[in-house]
Amino acid sequence: MKTEPFKLSNLFTELSKKYGFDLLKIFVGAGLIIYLIQKLSIREILLSLSTINLFYFSIAIFFSVLNVYLQFLRWRMLLKIEAPELDNFSIFKSLLIGFSGGTFTPARSGEYFLRKLPLKDLKLSSIITLTFIDKMMLLLNVIFWGSLVSFGMMIFYYQVDFYVTASLFILFITFFSALFMMIYSKRFYNYLKEIKQRFNIKFEFLKKLLEPLADLNNQLISRLILLALLNLLVIVLEFVVIILSFENGLNIGLLLVAAMMVYFSKTLIPSITLGEIGIRESAAIYFFGLFGCSEVIAFNSSMMLFFLNLLLPSVAGLYFLFRLKRA
């Protein structure tokens, strides 16, 4: 039996097919970070880091822990729909392993699958649907509050024509009014209970994806939305506290506006880098710069936020992931 000789070009082709998009995102993110470091000067970045106020930074660490805890509460609330007997430690491991999958995969797609690994008794289809619901709760809050802050920026900072702003605001109110009417309508949840019966056997997996939706109700959705709102508030406050740890005395109200705009714009921009690295930093430099914050401080604060809220939980998730593989 003949074996084909090893060719470096074949290996490169295979790796490109398998990891091409991930590599592209790494290169884009690394390119943006390198560009920003060169633009800002690495000496100034390191000098700024050496002046960090440990009191404010310890508050930021507390907010980071609170951020993970609020996500855990939301995820536990959703999992209890399918498995009321599930223990907290398994839920926590699922969340952290999901962090690892989300941070290092395109569009955080890995999170939908990796959250399943410690939850062997739950179906993958249920985990995918529940993860989607979890993400949607935070996304709705980001879009709602981010849009409101954007309208304020359009009126008071960018001085956009009143009629343009008013037209966009009417569309915004109409959309969210219809959305909330649907969320708080009993008919909507009755429809969800019926819809999974309407699919032919050809769509069996789709039917399984719809099954968890039948257990939703407006009380559960209200609690999830409230937890997601608290989660968003904690992230925004954490960003502001990190900024203050580098430069105290800035207007806190304006910093809150800038932090919300950074998170809002990062959410709207398609995920073209792993962990949105580079995108968040560019947005931070722009929006915090509008209100008197130096570019170096905005950059360092954004990197600190990435380190505390994404990288550290992802590393903890990798620890649990490797332990699962050994078991």
Q: Map residue 308 onto helix, strand or coil.
A: helix
Q: What secondary structure does DSSP assign to 57-74, as a single string? A: HHHHHHHHHHHHHHHHHH
Residue 39 is assigned to a structural domain of this protein: no
Residue 26 is assigned to a structural domain of this protein: no
Q: Map residue 292 onto helix, strand or coil.
A: coil
Residue that wins the pLDDT comparison between 162 and 12: 162
Residue 210 is assigned to a structural domain of this protein: yes
The pLDDT tens digits for 152-166 are 999 888 888 888 989
Up-side HSE of residue 77: CA atoms within 13 Å toward CB? 21
Residue 36 is assigned to a structural domain of this protein: no
The pLDDT tens digits for 291-304 are 989 888 998 898 88
Name, in order, each residue with C-beta under 8 angstroms of 205's C-beta and a sequence gap of 6 or more. 125
Q: Tell me how many domains the chain contains.
A: 1
pTM of the model: 0.82
Asked if residues 279 and 32 have their Cβ atoms less than 8 Å apart, the reply is yes
Residue 44 is assigned to a structural domain of this protein: no
211: tokens are: 């099954």
Residue 17 is assigned to a structural domain of this protein: no
pLDDT at 48: 67
Model confidence at 78, pLDDT cuts 50, 70, 90, reads very high
Chain mean pLDDT for the chain: 81
Residue 34 is assigned to a structural domain of this protein: no
Structural domain span for residue 127? 52-326
- Count of other CB atoms within 10 angstroms of residue 148: 15
310: tokens are: 């994404």
Residue that wins the pLDDT comparison between 23 and 189: 189
Asked if residues 242 and 56 have their Cβ atoms less than 8 Å apart, the reply is yes
124: tokens are: 């993958």
Residue that wins the pLDDT comparison between 33 and 165: 165
Residue 6 is assigned to a structural domain of this protein: no
